[in-house]
Structure 1
Amino acid sequence: MSATTDDRAVTRSRPVGGSPRRAGSAAAFRWEVVKLAALVRTRAMLLGCLVAPPVVVLVLRSQRPPADTLFGRHVHESGYAVPLLLLGFLVQWVFPLLASLVAGDIFASEDQHGTWKTILTRSVSRTQVFWAKTLAAVAFAVTSFLVLAASAIVSSVLLVGTQPLTGLTGQTIPPSHALGLVVAAWLSTLPALVGFTALAILLSVRTRNPALGVVGPVVVGLAMGLLGSVSGIGLLRRALLSTSLESWHGFFAAAPFTGPFLDGLVAAGVWTLVCLALAYSSLRRRDIIGG
């Protein structure tokens, strides 16, 4: 049988003696993962996340420490300072790109190639396609992040050492505690990464342009970083995704504080929910047949 609306217009096959069935979101998700695995850029990104950190660590070992950056003066003294130095750089320049490389293209590419009508067959709905693509984009961003974090931390410890870390207020942090704080610092940026992924998905759906979907979050991230450096906008700064990427600084004070992290967690959650809701609404209302 068939219905008029998209989600209710999914043809259900009725096996003999069985109940109605329709293609599930899991099948659509698996297909999206297969398509991502076949792309050269996704494999190149994962390889870069794995290989780049040890190369940077080796370069830093052969140069004078960048004393004007956060934890920069300690990169030759402790292997736990290096991943924090890398994190401070990556959250400004690389994380938005990491989030948008797939998410900014995953919907718009269907418009570019004119394949929406093929995808939206009577065995799959727009809702299933939306969540399959969204979960695939988030899974890629999180996987890339975990590879990058693991490579940065492991290579720094192996190549520099497990010496105690000097905190932001001058206190000495023992190696066993320092490792936990470094891991926590990296993981604290994950909600903002998901937020940037949701923003890339929104731009991908609304603009139907892969280039804008990929570049847009990077530009927005840089703009947020500049806006966050302006004084007198305390309340607005708390709502920016870029601010939540720096909330881990409080972990390394003599008296640790987590207020900025909790604010950033809320901000990232709101950004994620709003962007995904707008993207889903836009895709649901779109006239696929008319173009």
Structure 2
Amino acid sequence: MPGEAATLPRPDAAPAPLWRGYRFELVKLLSQWRLRVVALVCWLGPGLVVAVISTATTLPTDTVFGRWMGQTGWAGSLVVLSFACAWVLPLLTSLVAGDVFAAEDRQGTWRHLLVAVRSPRRIFLAKALASLTVVLALVVGLAVSSVVGGLAAVGGRPLVGLDGQVLSPGHAAMSVMLAWAVVLAPTLAFSAVGLLGSVMFGRSPMGLLTPVALAFVLALAQLLPLPVLLRIALPSWSFLAWRGLFTEPAQIGPIVAGVVVDLVWALLAAVLAYAVFVRRDFTDPAYDGAGPRTVLSTLAPLAVLVAVSVAVLAAVTPTSGSGIDRPKLERSLATAYGHLYRLQTRELARPDVPEAQLNVGASCDKGGDLVEDAGPGNDWRCVVTWHIPGATAVGSAVYQLDATPDGRYVADGDGPQSVNGFFQVRTPTGDVPNPLWQFDGSVDLFTATTKG
């Protein structure tokens, strides 16, 4: 009939505008009940959790900045960021980007979509941009909610950094925002990997699990004593490197290197996903993902990228080995102790002593005389010394250090009791956490490793 013939698309009809396809894909994503629930959790959950934990008597001291949650609201957002980097952000990319193409395969709607849009290229771009928009909105929700919850619970007081330096509320706010901005780069890389998995594996759940599986493998790799260059060449490094923003001076080198690696990963994975997508046969209703040969040939460039990244980092940075050695730990520990000693002095209402007069020093040993004083481990033992003007005796304190492969260490006080033996100190206004009892620190992995 003439009416039916008029409804068929003309072969020479122009493709639908990209912005219409983007809006259509965005509406489809936001109409899914599971994503609505996830969005609600991201925008409300962190704030509630931070508010409850910040006012509790037990704090997550095993998490970086966790011991300061009861003192300032900025610490709560950083604790949420640490937890999100471990599992939440890869999971979000799986739920959104890892399923955006596979959903069409499960529902068998590719032919309808192609008739409406008339351009596989614009379909890919629309889906990629829509999924990226949703992921960014979820990350923003995590950041905003955690900050609001922390500030509402305990206020925006100064934050103690990873070198013991006290950051003003304005400085802390800027550093927290920059930390959340840094993790957008690895989130973008995992989102691109999710697109690639969704394209390659079709209706198979493997596409949905690709970012989570990659995050699990990389998390295990970051726990191993890998060379620092290989560690930074992995797309998960920036999930840890943001901590360098909370030292003075900031450890910018590892952050910049990690962000660049993540952006290259995101670009390469997106290009590979696009290449696989435009070559697939949309007329095959039994399509069940790319074959093993295609999958291996597609993943090979990502492995090559890791090797190239290691070579480039080796050429432009002076670091080598694990990036952790005795001189670095001694300098970092002495600096942090000097800052925290003055903080404890102010808490106890004692006369302040400039750090230049304290002349703080540290001497560390790893595992005794038969073990090389380098690398991560929980067998570092350090003695910190300092001088009080007008006193003839030299003060000293012992610390057990647990240095992790990513450059973070936890210094646990081992006496004397009057300095670091108790987790609280009594002040004129009440008991407060003892800053010298246990504290976190960080070494710059990009500085040259000292020999000898």
Give the structure-1-normalised TM-score.
Answer: 0.90
CA contact (8 A) 2:93 2:194 kept: yes
CA shift, 1:123, in A, is 4.4
Greater percentage in strand? 2
Letter in structure 2 aligned against 1:261: I
Q: Specify the alignment match of 2:16 in structure 1.
A: 23
Matched, 1:281 2:275: yes
Matched, 1:181 2:184: no
Matched, 1:257 2:247: no
Other structure's SS at 1:96 match: helix
Q: Specify the alignment match of 1:17 in structure 2.
A: none
Q: Specify the alignment match of 2:200 in structure 1.
A: 206
Q: Give me the whole-angstrom Cα distance separating, in 2, the residues matched to 1:110 and 1:210.
A: 12
Q: Give me the whole-angstrom Cα distance separating, in 1, the residues matched to 2:10 and 2:96.
A: 28
RMSD: 1.6
CA contact (8 A) 1:96 1:218 kept: yes
CA contact (8 A) 2:16 2:116 kept: no
CA shift, 1:22, in A, is 3.6
Extract unaligned runs of 5+ from structure 1: 1-8, 14-20
Other structure's SS at 1:23 match: coil
CA shift, 1:10, in A, is 8.5
1:6-55 deviations in whole A, cap 9, x for unaligned? xxx99444xxxxxxx54211111111011112110111111000111122
CA contact (8 A) 2:15 2:119 kept: no
CA shift, 1:249, in A, is 0.8
- 25, 34, 53: which one pairs with 1:32? 25
1:167-246 → structure 2 map (5 Å cutoff): 167-209=161-203, 211-246=205-240
1:196-231 deviations in whole A, cap 9, x for unaligned? 110001000000136322222112112101102211
CA shift, 1:155, in A, is 1.4
CA shift, 1:252, in A, is 0.4
Q: Specify the alignment match of 2:158 in structure 1.
A: 164
Q: Taking every aligned residue pair, what percent have the same amino acid on both sides? A: 37
Letter in structure 1 aligned against 2:234: L
Q: Give me the whole-angstrom Cα distance separating, in 2, the residues matched to 1:11 and 1:30.
A: 24
Inter-CA distance 10–73: structure 2 relative to 1 (3 Å threshold): farther
Q: Give me the whole-angstrom Cα distance separating, in 2, the residues matched to 1:169 and 1:289.
A: 60
Letter in structure 1 aligned against 2:32: L
Q: Specify the alignment match of 1:85 in structure 2.
A: 79
Which has the greater radius of gyration? 2
CA contact (8 A) 2:98 2:207 kept: yes
Letter in structure 2 aligned against 1:34: V
Q: Give me the whole-angstrom Cα distance separating, in 2, the residues matched to 1:258 and 1:264.
A: 10
- 41, 45, 53: which one pairs with 1:52? 45
Letter in structure 1 aligned against 2:49: V
Q: Give me the whole-angstrom Cα distance separating, in 2, the residues matched to 1:10 and 1:230.
A: 59
Q: Give me the whole-angstrom Cα distance separating, in 1, the residues matched to 2:34 and 2:26.
A: 14
CA shift, 1:122, in A, is 6.7
CA shift, 1:88, in A, is 0.8
1:86-116 deviations in whole A, cap 9, x for unaligned? 1111100101011121111110111111111
Q: Specify the alignment match of 1:3 in structure 2.
A: none
CA contact (8 A) 2:51 2:152 kept: no
Q: Specify the alignment match of 2:66 in structure 1.
A: 72
Q: Give me the whole-angstrom Cα distance separating, in 1, the residues matched to 2:181 and 2:56.
A: 29
Q: Give me the whole-angstrom Cα distance separating, in 2, the residues matched to 1:32 and 1:136.
A: 6
CA contact (8 A) 1:103 1:213 kept: no
Q: Specify the alignment match of 2:372 in structure 1.
A: none
Q: Specify the alignment match of 2:304 in structure 1.
A: none
Larger deviation, residues 224-233 vs 149-158: 224-233
1:150-182 deviations in whole A, cap 9, x for unaligned? 111111111111111000011111111111111
Letter in structure 2 aligned against 1:24: P
Extract unaligned runs of 5+ from structure 2: 1-8, 286-452
Letter in structure 2 aligned against 1:70: V
Greater percentage in helix? 1
Q: Give me the whole-angstrom Cα distance separating, in 1, the residues matched to 2:30 and 2:88.
A: 21
Matched, 1:131 2:113: no
CA contact (8 A) 2:47 2:147 kept: no
Aligned residues: 276
Letter in structure 2 aligned against 1:193: T
CA contact (8 A) 2:218 2:234 kept: yes
Q: Specify the alignment match of 2:106 in structure 1.
A: 112
Q: Specify the alignment match of 1:96 in structure 2.
A: 90
